[in-house]
Each structure stands twice: as structure tokens, then as C-alpha cells.
Amino acid sequence: MTARHFPAELLFADVSERIVFDELKKRLPSEAVIFCNERLSDSGQELEIDFIVAWPGVGVAVLEVKGGQIRSNEDSTFKQGDARGWHDIDPMTQVRKNMYGLNGYISRLWSRRALSSKALIVFPHAEIPSSYSRPDIPREIVVDKVDLVSIADRIQTVLRNHHYRPEQIDIDILIQKFSGHSAAQVSLLDVRKNREKALVQLTEDQLAILATLRRSKRFAILGAAGCGKTFVAIEQARHRVLAGDRVLFLCYNRGLAAYINKRFEALPESERPEAIKTLHALGPKWGYQIDGDQTSMREYWDEVVPAALAQLATNLQEDEKYDTIIIDEAQDFHPDWWKVVTGALKDSEAGRIYAFGDLEQGVFHSHPDIPLSLCEIVLDKNIRNSLPIAELAALCIQDSPESAGLDGPPVRLVSATDETATALADQQVVALISEGWSPADICVLTTGDSHPKKKSTETVQGSVGYRESFFSGQDVFYGHALGFKGLERSAIVLAINGWKHPDQKKEMLYSAVTRARDLLIICAEEETLKQAGGREFVKLVKRRSELAAQ
């Protein structure tokens, strides 16, 4: 048996805390108890304690967790590194404040002998030299990533010479005090507030791969949805611009192009590509007039347009061509489009091409003439979706990535028919807003006909205004599973109201599910869901939805 923990249902705001919790639960004996994310208000102090370990016959330990890279300063403080650089932190002062606050709080609540605890600090992503020592911080109370596998032994060592040895009755009283303590639950709002911080570190880890590829002129970075391909593509484009290249950034759908443009607008002009376009927007840029009568025909886009643009590329002046071309969502490129890509390079043989695509599509292997076969790198960690969503998405694909471990609320299932799914989705939006969600954090996606509000927004504001409404961050966004690829929102309400392309229903379901960062609500008929996602998909959705209803 493993150690018990409170609360029973855990929702960590930081991936580092999840790592430490997993090790505590694995290493501590069954009689020990772990209290997670405790918040206390006592004597005018607001305390936030990452972990309390109560161990009968051994003692009580208070743990403070700090993620990211850590360096020690000359004094008792440390430096913590993230995407914003290095900054000073003082975890020892923080954990001691929590320790003394806990001791006083509990001692005033019971008539037994005063509670006494010891403090430890935990750095699950860093290595601290074994020689480290400060007058007020002995090395034994510092647990780094190497020490994690023996964290129970370390806690026992720290508590060995401490005078306080709790009996089982003391532990039972602590459980009674904390298990009913409403502040012990970490709210979804806390998770969302801290998610960006956690994702910064995870994305930095993903970006590190570019350093190993800096000498490569052509490569493909592959990965399932949520693996951070677009983040890495943007950073690679920025690197090449800073290196003096004329850069073209291509993607397939207009919504993603608008998102990428917004990301670059936040950077200095000196770090932006020359152009960010969809494939199809190259036509007007090069003087090719799109035939409006044929735009609904796939053959027109896959064969006629690329053939015309490949010919036009041969007439481009040198200063109109590019040193580097970055391609996101490259799995959507028809093989004939690659002739356009190489034709737009100043050097079609040695020019730089960096493609980012979905591993599941297999486009790079099925078309050997695509000029990227020299180097393929796989991103295998989902950094976008919370654990419940990532777990569900994994059932839609053969080679699922590892989840980054960010917690989230259970997926919810609302029983609906194709005809009622949209209306029920609207009801879920109202319910979410009443729960405290901001409308700007919510998106409704359909799989068959477009939502009436999507149609009305496009009619009134036009296609450009419709896309801009997504970035305005002021209201609920209404989209379609096919057109929302590459984008995301904190909460997705998915209305399965039929399938616009029945032969692609599994792909549409997978794409829609992975658009949700924190919360996913599916309005669908079980049989329809089973046909798209499979029996195990439906079983997991129902199980998670039942948990959400408890």
C-alpha cells in the first residue's frame, strides 16, 4: 500500500508539485499521510503550504517546492531560471514561515502537546552540489532531482533527531482538521493562473531541440497535437531572421496564420519574418488570380494552383525570393505544393526548409519526393492539454505522446442527438459563465453545420472580422472543428452535430478534443461518439463525466 493523501482528488497548479507528489506517494510507507496544497489563515498571515508529510513515530515535515532551473547564491537564497531570465528566490524563508505558521495554527486548535515540524525545500528539476552548505541550510534539507528517489529516507533523516514524534491519534486529528478544510482544494482558477508559468518551462525544454539542429539546413519536426510544434516553428523563424535571412512563414489555414501573425506582432520588428501567409495567399501575392468558381474543388487547390504558382516562382526576382521557409501544419500540404516551396527559395537545392507537422499523418513518409528526409525529430510530450484531455486524445491516435502532467477537471459528457447538440452546447456555455468562467476563455466547436452565431458573425463582420474576434478576447468564440486547427482555448464545448466530412470523423474528433487546454465538454450521442472515437473513447468519457458529476 502507498501513503494516503488529502484531498483525495488532486488538482496541482504546477507540474513540479505533481512530480514531487508522485515520488512521495511512491516512497512513503502506508501509515504516512500527505497533505497537499494546504492554505491557512492564522494571526493575520496567509500561508500556502505545498506539502505536509505526517509520519507516525517519525515526525511532521513541511515541504516547499520550486520548479525550473535553480542556482545557489552566496547567501541562503537561490536563483530560479525561466523564460524571463534568472531571478532571486528565498524558499528557505518561505518554508520556515509556513512551518512556524503550521505549528502555531495546529497547537492552538488542539489540547494535546504542541505540534512541531521540520522544513525541507525541494527542487525537482535541478541538481544541487553535494558540497552545498550554508549556516542555516544544511545540505540534508535540500532535495534535488537526484535525491527525489530517496525523498522518504531524506525526510526520515531530517526528522530523526527531532524531539516531536506524533502518535497515530495526532495523525488522525490532523486528518480531521485538514480533510474538511475547504481551502485544501486547489481551484481550477489557480491551475489556469499557474499553467502559463508551467508551460513556459515546458516550452523552453521543447525549444532546446533547436540548439542541436542549428547547423541543419533542412529538417522536419513531427509530433501529435499539443506538442508545441507551432511554438518551436515561431522560434526557429525568429532565429533565422536574426541570422539575417529573408524568411517566409507558411501554414495551411487562415486562423492559424492570424494567430502566428499575432505572436510575431509582440516581438520587435527586427525579429519578424518577411511574410506570414497561408499557401493559398501566395497566389494573389505573386499575381495569380484565384478562380472563385473552382475554390470548392480539392483538385483545384491541390493541383491547378500549385502548378501555376510553381511556374510563377521561376519568374520571381532574386529579392522576391527567400533564404528560409518555415512551414507549420505541413501534413496538410499536398505533395505538389512542395515545388512551390523550393521554387520560392533563392537556392532551391541548398536553401533552408524547416517543416513542422503531425506525426500521425505520415505525410513525410508517404511522399519520398518531399525534400526533408535528411533529418526528422519527434516531439513526444503534450504540453497543451490537461491530463484528462490528453488521456482522451491518446485514444484517437496510434502513437500518443507523453503528457506533461498538468492536472485539470474531468471531461464532461452531455447526452445529445445531432439535432440537439448545438442547443445543448449553448446551455453549457451559460452554465460555465455562471460557474465563473470568463466568456473569452470559452469556445464552442461544431463538427457538422456551423453554429448560427458563427454564421452571423461572418455575415456581419466578414471573414477577417470573424477571425479577429477570436483574438479580441472579449466573448465566447464559435468555430468549426475543421477551421480551428492550430488554435486553442481554455474551455472547449464540442457539439457533435453530424460530420461535415464523414470519412474524416475520427480526425475531426481528435483535432477538436485537443483544442481544449483545461476543460472539455462534449455534447453528443454515445453511438455517434463511438463511431468516431471507438468504444474505449466512449467508456473513458463516461467514466470521467461521472467523476465530474460527483
The fold for domain 217-379 equals Rossmann fold (3.40.50)
pLDDT reading at 190 higher than 70: no
CATH code for the part of the protein at 387-549:
3.40.50.300
Task: Tell me what pLDDT residue 362 has.
Answer: 46
Task: Tell me what pLDDT residue 413 has.
Answer: 94
Average pLDDT over residues 503-528: 92
DSSP secondary structure letters along 373-429: TT-EEEE-EE-SS-HHHHHHHGGGSSSPPEE-----PPPEEEE--TTTHHHHHHHHH
- Euclidean distance between the first and the last CA atom of the chain, given in angstroms as a whole number: 25
Task: Tell me what pLDDT residue 205 has.
Answer: 62
Q: Each residue of 462-475: pLDDT tens digit?
A: 988 888 888 777 79
Q: What is the DSSP letter of 359?
A: G
Task: Tell me what pLDDT residue 139 has.
Answer: 95
CATH code for the part of the protein at 4-185:
3.40.1350
| 3-state SS record for 419-486 | CCHHHHHHHHHHHHHHHCCCHHHEEEEECCCCCHHHHHHHHHHHHHHHHHHHHHCCCCEEEECCCCCC
Instruction: Tell me the pLDDT band of 79, cut-offs 50, 70 and 90.
Output: very high
Question: Which H or E element spans position 51?
Answer: strand 45-55
Task: Tell me what pLDDT residue 105 has.
Answer: 82
Task: Tell me what pLDDT residue 203 has.
Answer: 58
pLDDT reading at 84 higher than 80: no
Looking at the chain, which residues constitute the CATH 3.40.50.300 domain(s)? 217-379, 387-549
Q: What is the largest CA-CA distance in the chain?
A: 89
With H, G, I as helix, E, B as strand and everything else as coil, classify residue 24: helix
Question: Which H or E element spans position 356?
Answer: strand 352-357
Instruction: Tell me the pLDDT band of 183, cut-offs 50, 70 and 90.
Output: very low
pLDDT reading at 365 higher than 50: no
Task: Tell me what pLDDT residue 360 has.
Answer: 64
Looking at the chain, which residues constitute the CATH 3.40.1350 domain(s)? 4-185
Mean pLDDT, the chain, whole residue set = 85
What is the Cα–Cα distance from 257 to 237, expressed in whole angstroms?
Answer: 14
Look up the pTM and report it: 0.59
Instruction: Tell me the pLDDT band of 361, cut-offs 50, 70 and 90.
Output: low
Q: Each residue of 384-442: pLDDT tens digit?
A: 888 888 888 888 887 777 776 566 788 999 999 999 999 999 999 999 998 888 898 99
Average pLDDT over residues 143-160: 95
pLDDT reading at 194 higher than 80: no
Average pLDDT over residues 439-457: 94
Instruction: Tell me the pLDDT band of 489, cut-offs 50, 70 and 90.
Output: very high
